[in-house]
Structures are given as C-alpha cells and as structure tokens.
Amino acid sequence: MNTALAIIKLIAGVVGHTYALVADAVESIADIFSSLVVWGGLHIATLPADEDHPYGHGRAEALASAVVSLMLLAAAVGIAIEAVREIRTPHHAPAPWTLIVLIVVIIVKEILSRRVFDVGHEVGSRAVLADAQHHRSDVITSAAAFVGISVALIGGPGWETADDWAALLAAGVIFTNGVKMLRPALDDLMDRAPDDVMVRRIGEAALEVEDVIAIEKIKIRKVGLTYVVDLHVQADAGLSLHDAHIVSGKVKGAIRGAVPAVDGVLIHMEPYEPGVPLTKPAALATRRSGTSDPTSPIHWH
C-alpha cells in the first residue's frame, strides 16, 4: 500500500507542480523502509534465547523503534530543506486535480495508522507504535499539502508557494513526532523502570502469596515485548531451603498471573528483618479498607 501511494503521489506531485505532494511521496517511501525495519526488529526480538544471547533478543524491538524514529527525523529535515529551496524557486501553480489525490491518500493512510496503532497497543510494541506514527505523519503531510494547494489555487498568482510553506510546516510536525517516539525507545534501551501502576500490581501480587512477609526490593525492566522482574522477598527465617524454593515459585506464578506481560522473574529469598516499610499485613489491610489509591506509587527500599 505504501509503495502504491508513493508512486501515485510522486507522479501527481511532479505532473501537478506541487512540491508538497512530492514531499508526501518521500514520506511514503520512508514508510516502506520503516515497516521493513519494524518487521525485522520484531522477527529478531521473538527469537528464543541462545548460547550467545542468554537473555534473548528483545532489545531488537527497541532498537527498531529508535531507527524508525531517526528515519522520521531525517525525513523531516530533508522535506524542510527541499521546501525552502522550492519557496525560493519560482514555479507553476499546483493543478486542481491534485486535491482529489490527496483526499484519497488521507483516507487510506488514516485507516492504516489506526490499524497499526491498535496492534501496537495490543502487543505493547514501541516499534509498531513508531511505525503507526510514521503513517500518521503521512496523514499530516497530506493534510498540510491539501491546505497549501487550496490556498495557492484560491489565492491565484503570487500564492504559488503556499503548498511549499505547507510542506515546511508539515516537516516541523513530523520532526516533533520523531522526537516524541525516540524518547521511549531510548528509555527501553536504557532499562528505564515502568510506571508506578505496574510496580504496584507486581508488588501486591507478591505480597498476597502465603508465607511472604515483606518485599525489600523490586526492579523491573522492559525487554522487547515483555518485562523482567528482579524481586527480594522476605519470609520466616525458619523456612527450609525447600520450602523457600516453593514460596519463590508461588511468587513467580502470582506475578505472571497479575501481569501477563511479565516473562522472567528472579526471586531472592531472604529472612524477614523488622523495619521494612511495607509488610504483607499492612498492605492487605490497606487494600481491604478501600483506602488505597491504585494509581499512587509504592516506594520500595
């Protein structure tokens, strides 16, 4: 679909004397490569762990997201440079029929962007969401081109560069979206902790397990489409090693049941030490009283 749209917009832009449509075609060409990058990143990310990659290949998904975001930034800079050049170069007014092409493009790309956004949210993939943003940027450039061409046609002589100014404006929007998509990709690559809601859900799931008295530490990082949890659990010092092992298994099961996106759970069993700020009775009492705020953070040692 992107290939067909790119060809149509490129031909219409050249024949119809509108650089905004040519810039739109460049954006569609970038969409082709970004989709290939996302596909490749997801394919690698889903490969199982091996001897050389004992923790799997999940980072490929975040890397693909970063690459797509950088492609957005590069496309924005390229469009802006060419738009400025076109503004300074006298040219013909755009052809009226190019508006029809843009209407079709806007409808098709909006449908594509919404579909890809839905999939991205469903699987929790930054790369897919970045690709969806790429589609949405195409909608933005097409809409800007439509406005610019309309102004040029209505304004008549002297307004021929209106579509070029529209392309320049669209480049600014695309650049902003690229920066917004790059930040979460870098967060995943740098092991930034998830939001407090997920931390709370995982902590409460662990505290509900029998024999768990308190939680001392909890660390969570995103690897590809899943999360890895590192948790310090305190229990009765009198538990045997076998019983402590069973408790850790129950904690893992409880966490995975509460947050299906969690794939790996590493439990450190420790003897209970008084003074830990959140113990099991305190947490459960707060929940039963109905006074807890599910969106408020829990701070762990």
Quick one: pLDDT at residue 246?
Answer: 93
Count other C-beta atoms under 10 Å from residue 143's C-beta: 20
Q: Using the structure block, give the residue that is written with the tokens 């930040």.
A: 183
Half-sphere exposure of residue 68: CA atoms within 13 angstroms, side-chain side = 35
Q: What angle, 0 to 180 degrees and rounded to 10, lies between the N-to-C axes of helices 196-207 and 280-289? A: 110
Question: Along the 301 residues of the chain, how does pLDDT read in single tens digits?
Answer: 888 888 888 888 888 877 767 777 877 777 788 788 888 888 888 888 888 888 788 888 888 888 888 888 888 888 888 888 878 876 677 788 888 888 988 898 899 889 999 998 888 887 788 788 878 877 887 888 888 888 888 887 778 778 778 878 878 888 887 888 888 888 888 878 787 888 888 988 999 998 898 887 888 888 877 888 999 999 988 889 999 999 999 999 999 999 888 888 999 998 987 765 554 544 444 443 444 444 444 444 4
Q: What angle, 0 to 180 degrees and rounded to 10, lies between the N-to-C axes of helices 126-155 and 59-87? A: 10
Residue ranges of the chain that CATH labels 3.30.70.1350 = 196-289
| CATH code, 2-189 | 1.20.1510.10
Quick one: pLDDT at residue 115?
Answer: 92
Helix and strand element counts for the chain (H, E): 9, 3
Residue ranges of the chain that CATH labels 1.20.1510.10 = 2-189
Integer-rounded Cα Rg, in Å, for the chain is 26
State which amino acid sits at residue 249: G
Count other C-beta atoms under 10 Å from residue 83's C-beta: 25
Quick one: pLDDT at residue 255?
Answer: 93
Quick one: pLDDT at residue 275?
Answer: 63
Output phi, psi for 139, to 5 deg: -65, -40
DSSP letter string, 17-80: T-HHHHHHHHHHHHHHHHHHHHHHHHHHHTSPP-SS-TT-STHHHHHHHHHHHHHHHHHHHHHH
Query: What are the tokens at 66?
Result: 């970063």
Quick one: pLDDT at residue 245?
Answer: 92
Q: Is 1 exposed, middle or buried (0-12, 13-18, 19+ CB in 10 A)?
A: middle
Query: What are the tokens at 131?
Result: 């690709």
Give the distance, in angstroms, between the CA of residue 206 and the centroid of all CA atoms in the same chain. 28
- Give, as one character, the DSSP assignment of residue 280: H
Quick one: pLDDT at residue 276?
Answer: 56
Quick one: pLDDT at residue 268?
Answer: 92
Q: Could you confirm whether domain 196-289 is CATH 3.40.309.10?
A: no
Hey, which bits of the chain come out as E strands?
212-223, 226-235, 262-271
Query: What are the tokens at 50?
Result: 């091996």
Long-range contacts of 116-123 (CB under 8 A, 24+ apart): 123/225
Q: Using the structure block, give the residue that is written with the tokens 């902790």.
A: 193
